[in-house]
Amino acid sequence: MTWKWESQRKQYGRALVELGKERSDIVVLDADLSSSTRTADFASAFPERFFNCGIAEQNMIDTAAGLAASGKTVFVSTFAVFGTGRCYDQIRQSVAYPKLNIKIVASHAGITVGGDGASHQIIEDIALMRVLPNMAVIVPVDSNETYNVVKAIAKTKDPVYVRIGRADVPTVTDKDTPFEMSKANVMRDGTDVTLIGCGILVSKCLEAAEELAKHGIDARVINLHTIKPLDEKTVVKAARETGGVVTAEEHSVMMGMGSAVAMCLVENFHVPMKRVGIPDVFGESGACNELMEKYGLTIENIVEAAHDVMKRKK
Amino acid sequence: MEIYDGEFIAELEAIAKRVRSHSITMIYRAGSGHPGGSLSGVDIMVALYFHVMKHDSKRPDWPERDRFVLSKGHAAPALYAVLAEAKYFPEKELETLRKLGSRLQGHPCMRKTPGVEMSTGSLGHGLAAGNGMALAAKLDRKLYRIYVLCGDGEMDVGETWEAAMLASHYKLDNITAYIDRNKLQLDGPTEKIMSLEPLADKWKAFGWHVIEINGHSMKEIIQATNEAKGVKGRPTAIICHTIKGKGVSYMEGSLHFHGKAPTDEEYKQAMKELGGTDR
């Protein structure tokens, strides 16, 4: 399969500028990374509604809380490693607990940050955010979906965490693919096994499905963009109809999308399952594809997991 | 300079006395809470709610209202007592502090309690939240002002200084920070735990206009607030020298009552001193 590779950040910047034109209540905060997160596009279009907080993420989140409490729809951006762990208490106390209208759109998540190494490769942000009451967690699959997600969440009044990457990602949707929060997108039908991916791993699930087809295995592929609130209906239906599930994510297997799916299935419809993701270790410097390979996020890893699940099916 | 007539000041002082009495009663009934830091900040809150601020208890969400943020959220009993005195909810409800199902949480919750502008409790958040409100006021060209009460222990928190920097960077002359300088934090005297002095110089260095007052003098609180309103292009910090546990003799300057409810005997004594009803 050949993919068109496009930037999620660029679409984030574009969507923000459009929102800024449409609505005067949109304000944007960044912590000295606006040219990387692309909030700089909004900053040039609407300088009076953009506040650079400097390298002070804790302060940025609480400032956002004050703006949101005053009726603003606040987008806050920085790298995912700084926009979650570094200001966790602020997100907990001043965003999630008071359920304020703040959208944390964090870029440079996961190991595909590449050369910066483990200090910058957050692989636990989904875990941190999904355990917070009132917090929704979305991982847009590609550039089109990033744009659609930003436009969609701006219509809600509640806290949302959106995780995007640094690198360009394969475009698996088209501009008209609908995005509805908490409504998983079945990208390919299948009856033998279900591959559930989020973010950059969805394209790999699609490729793995092609590979499995060669072995006579008919795999369903789901883009589970919203990790919380989870589309339990689509997940359980897939488990019921295919009898086995593989999840794949660029995140620690400890408490990411895969474990959300596992928890859902354990309680609702128990089927053989395998999680593809980063094992319980920190990353390191390297090229994206080298890291994906070393940490087990390849098409082959997914195919192998699917075979394993197939074997365990009754 | 304004002339303050004695009767008007006496009225505020009478409210403050009632608020102290309510606060201690609430903590006594709840069996836990923070009497020391509640009592030290009472006069500042009373001056703000009963003289300085534009607000309307019948319309807690009135867009033009001034905003008060209790950054030192553990002084919640005093804030609740002030809000009850200001008729945001019935005085009777004060009895429910820290009880299951109550709107009066151990620390302020903006989603539960009418009149509470920001959920606080984890220290060092309030000033930054106040800054967000001040930025919103500027964006919307509104004249309302933001008042934030910080504890001096919160000066240990890095975010306090991040917020101090942001307020002066964005020239937020519509925010005033009151620092309840009672000189005691949970583990001991502030200067022993983490030296804060020279505190005024620190705020000045961060670009703030700084005023030092006696934080138990209604007249000085009001005068300093008026001065702050006149300062253009930068925020004002009012360092309020206070006494932890102010108003109850055995709590004054006492570390013991940072976070502990009075016993039956102690409660009776407090009510005697505050002229409250022994409940």
ipTM of this model? 0.96
Q: B104-143 pLDDT, tens per residue?
A: 999 999 999 999 999 999 999 999 999 999 999 999 999 9
For residue A26 the two structure tokens come to 């949109």
β-sheet bridge partners, residue B177: B148, B237
What is the reported pLDDT for A308?
Answer: 98
Please check whether residue B279 lies inside any domain of the structure.
no
| Mean of pLDDT values over A56-68 | 98
Q: B24-79 pLDDT, tens per residue?
A: 999 999 999 999 999 999 999 999 999 999 999 999 999 999 999 999 999 999 99
Query: Mutate which of A29, A46, A63 to test chain B, going by most B C-beta atoms within 10 A?
Result: A63
Of A86, A138, A105, A95, the closest CA to residue A37 belongs to A105
Q: A18-57 pLDDT, tens per residue?
A: 999 999 999 999 999 999 999 999 999 999 999 999 999 9
Yes or no: domain A5-170 corresponds to CATH 3.40.50.970? yes
User: In chain B, what residues touch A27 (CB-CB under 8 Å)?
Assistant: 135, 139
Q: How many domains does chain B have?
A: 1
Query: In this complex, which of A49, A67, A93 lies closest to B121 when CB atoms are compared?
Result: A93
Domain A185-312 sits in CATH at: 3.40.50.920
Read off the amino acid at residue B232.
Answer: K
CB atoms B136 and A72 under 8 Å: yes
What is the reported pLDDT for B191?
Answer: 97
Instruction: Tell me the angle at which helices A143-153 and A8-22 cross, rounded to the nearest 10 degrees.
Output: 30
Of A259, A110, A204, A72, the closest CA to residue B135 belongs to A72
Query: In this complex, which of A66, A92, A99 lies closest to B132 when CB atoms are compared?
Result: A66
Contacts of B83 (CB under 8 A, 6+ apart): B49, B57, B89, B113, B114, B115, B116
Please check whether residue B207 lies inside any domain of the structure.
yes
Q: Give residue B253's domain range.
A: 6-274
What is the reported pLDDT for B276?
Answer: 72
Question: Which part of chain A is CATH 3.40.50.970?
Answer: 5-170
Distances (CA, A) of B161 to A135, B114, B202, B206: 28, 29, 9, 8
Read off the amino acid at residue A69.
Answer: A
- Does residue B1 have a pLDDT over 50? no
Of A222, A205, A161, A184, the closest CA to residue A298 belongs to A205
Strands B184-185 and B188-189: antiparallel
- Whole-number Å distance between alpha carbons of B52 and A203: 60
What is the reported pLDDT for B3?
Answer: 55
Which pLDDT band holds residue B148 (cuts at 50, 70, 90)?
Answer: very high
User: In chain B, what residues touch A70 (CB-CB under 8 Å)?
Assistant: 132-133, 136-137, 140
Query: Mutate which of A70, A87, A134 to test chain B, going by most B C-beta atoms within 10 A?
Result: A70
Question: Which part of chain A is CATH 3.40.50.920?
Answer: 185-312
Distances (CA, A) of B266 to B28, B81, B251, B262: 9, 20, 10, 5
| Mean of pLDDT values over A245-271 | 98
| Mean of pLDDT values over A119-136 | 98
**A83 CA: distance to closest CA in chain B (Å):** 15
Q: B232-270 pLDDT, tens per residue?
A: 999 999 999 999 999 999 999 999 999 999 999 999 999
Please check whether residue B38 lies inside any domain of the structure.
yes
Q: What is the CATH number of the domain that holds B138?
A: 3.40.50.970
Query: In this complex, which of B136, B139, B162 lies closest to A48 when CB atoms are compared?
Result: B139
Q: Which residue has the tokens 């019935």?
A: B90
- Does residue B5 have a pLDDT over 90? no
Please check whether residue B30 lies inside any domain of the structure.
yes
CB atoms B170 and A51 under 8 Å: yes
Which residues of A are designated catalytic? 57
What is the reported pLDDT for B7?
Answer: 83
| Mean of pLDDT values over A162-183 | 96
Please check whether residue B242 lies inside any domain of the structure.
yes
